[in-house]
């Protein structure tokens, strides 16, 4: 029951999907929310993949239009919550100020020029990666990617909350991380293992393996740089990490296709 409740809380917190039921939110619920992040990512991936298959199979939409669907739907489903964190973290980082000032900038609800420029670069480059991946890949490969990327990005979100100390004792990131224990990382590691097993059976083990290596490397990068740049983790750095890994995984597919065509 707690598992299902926490999964539904994830949908309420991190998507615009209607869950018309009020749940109490305590220590165990928040802990289980983080533990079910990979399952939540699977839910997002299933929705994205189902929509893509329907559009690709039953409409005359071009690769460009299908790419736009893949690009815009995660933003709409999440209400842009992670992009907001990405812009705040970008404003703070590119201010080149001391740690305390960076934390103050992230708290400011206003978005500065660096946040806007970073958003434009992130979304435009991601659209390029998506379009060329759709153009040069078959439907089965795109469906696999659409399933995997939301799972891996939520694993990054969970690992960051478990492993990285909070920058300050306030905010949404701290609200989750203060209840997490180091052994909760096994839930994220178990997700990696299950994904790899699924990859063997679904004949997609190469992409699974590449994504796993890239994601683990990204988690290590975020762990080191979050402490150096911001003094630790916050809700904004978590949002930036989600957006960052999703763009990097699309870039990984694009690079693989580029070298294959070369």
The pLDDT tens digits for 94-144 are 988 888 888 888 888 888 889 999 999 999 999 999 999 999 989 989 999
Average pLDDT over residues 220-237: 91
Phi, psi of 124 (to 5 degrees): -70, -45
Q: Which pair of structure tokens corresponds to residue 54?
A: 């329907």
97 assigned to some structural domain:
yes
List C-alpha distances in Å: 96 to 99, 105, 122, 161, 230.
Answer: 9, 11, 20, 25, 11
- The range of the structural domain enclosing residue 191 comes to 2-7+25-261
96 assigned to some structural domain:
yes
pLDDT band at 172 (very low <50, low <70, confident <90, very high): confident
CA distance 91 to 110: 10
Top pLDDT among 252 and 206 is at 252
Q: How many domains does the chain have?
A: 1
Q: What pLDDT, in 10s, does the model give residues 4-57? A: 888 888 898 899 888 777 777 778 888 888 999 999 999 999 999 999 999 999
109 assigned to some structural domain:
yes
165 assigned to some structural domain:
yes
Residue 166 forms beta bridges with which residues? 233
CA distance 161 to 34: 8
18 assigned to some structural domain:
no
188 assigned to some structural domain:
yes
Q: How far is CA 45 from the centre of its chain?
A: 11
pLDDT band at 202 (very low <50, low <70, confident <90, very high): low
**Residue 262: per-residue pLDDT:** 39
**Residue 195: per-residue pLDDT:** 80
Q: Is the pLDDT of residue 155 over 90?
A: yes
**Residue 203: per-residue pLDDT:** 66
192 assigned to some structural domain:
yes
68 assigned to some structural domain:
yes
Q: Which residue matches tokens 């690709």? A: 56
**Residue 252: per-residue pLDDT:** 96
* pTM (two decimals): 0.93
Determine if residue 77 is left, alpha or beta; phi over 0 gives left, psi from -120 to 50 gives alpha, anything else beta.
alpha
Q: Is the pLDDT of residue 196 over 80?
A: no
Residue 233 forms beta bridges with which residues? 166
DSSP 94: T
């Amino acid at each position: 029951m707690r598992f299902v409740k926490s999964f539904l809380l994830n949908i309420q917190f991190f998507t615009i999907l209607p869950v018309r039921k009020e749940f109490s939110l305590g220590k165990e619920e928040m802990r289980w929310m983080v533990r079910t992040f990979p399952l939540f990512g699977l839910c997002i991936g299933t929705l994205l993949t189902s929509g893509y298959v329907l559009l690709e199979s039953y409409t005359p939409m071009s690769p460009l239009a299908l790419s736009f669907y893949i690009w815009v739907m995660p933003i709409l489903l999440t209400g842009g919550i992670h992009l907001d964190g990405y812009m705040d973290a970008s404003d703070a980082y590119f201010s080149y100020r001391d740690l305390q000032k960076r934390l103050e900038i992230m708290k400011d609800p206003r978005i500065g020029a660096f946040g806007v420029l970073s958003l434009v670069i992130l979304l435009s480059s991601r659209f390029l990666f998506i379009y060329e991946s759709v153009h040069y890949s078959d439907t089965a490969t795109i469906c696999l990617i659409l399933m995997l990327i939301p799972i891996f990005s939520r694993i990054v979100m969970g690992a960051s909350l478990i492993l990285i100390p909070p920058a300050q004792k306030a905010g949404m990131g701290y609200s989750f991380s203060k209840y997490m224990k180091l052994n909760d990382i096994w839930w994220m590691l178990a997700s990696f293992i299950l994904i790899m097993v699924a990859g063997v059976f679904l004949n997609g083990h190469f992409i699974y393996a590449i994504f796993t290596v890239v994601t683990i490397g990204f988690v290590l990068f975020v762990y080191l740089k979050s402490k150096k740049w911001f003094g630790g983790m916050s809700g904004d750095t978590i949002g930036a990490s989600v957006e960052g890994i999703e763009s990097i995984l699309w870039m990984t597919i694009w690079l693989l296709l580029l070298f294959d065509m070369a």
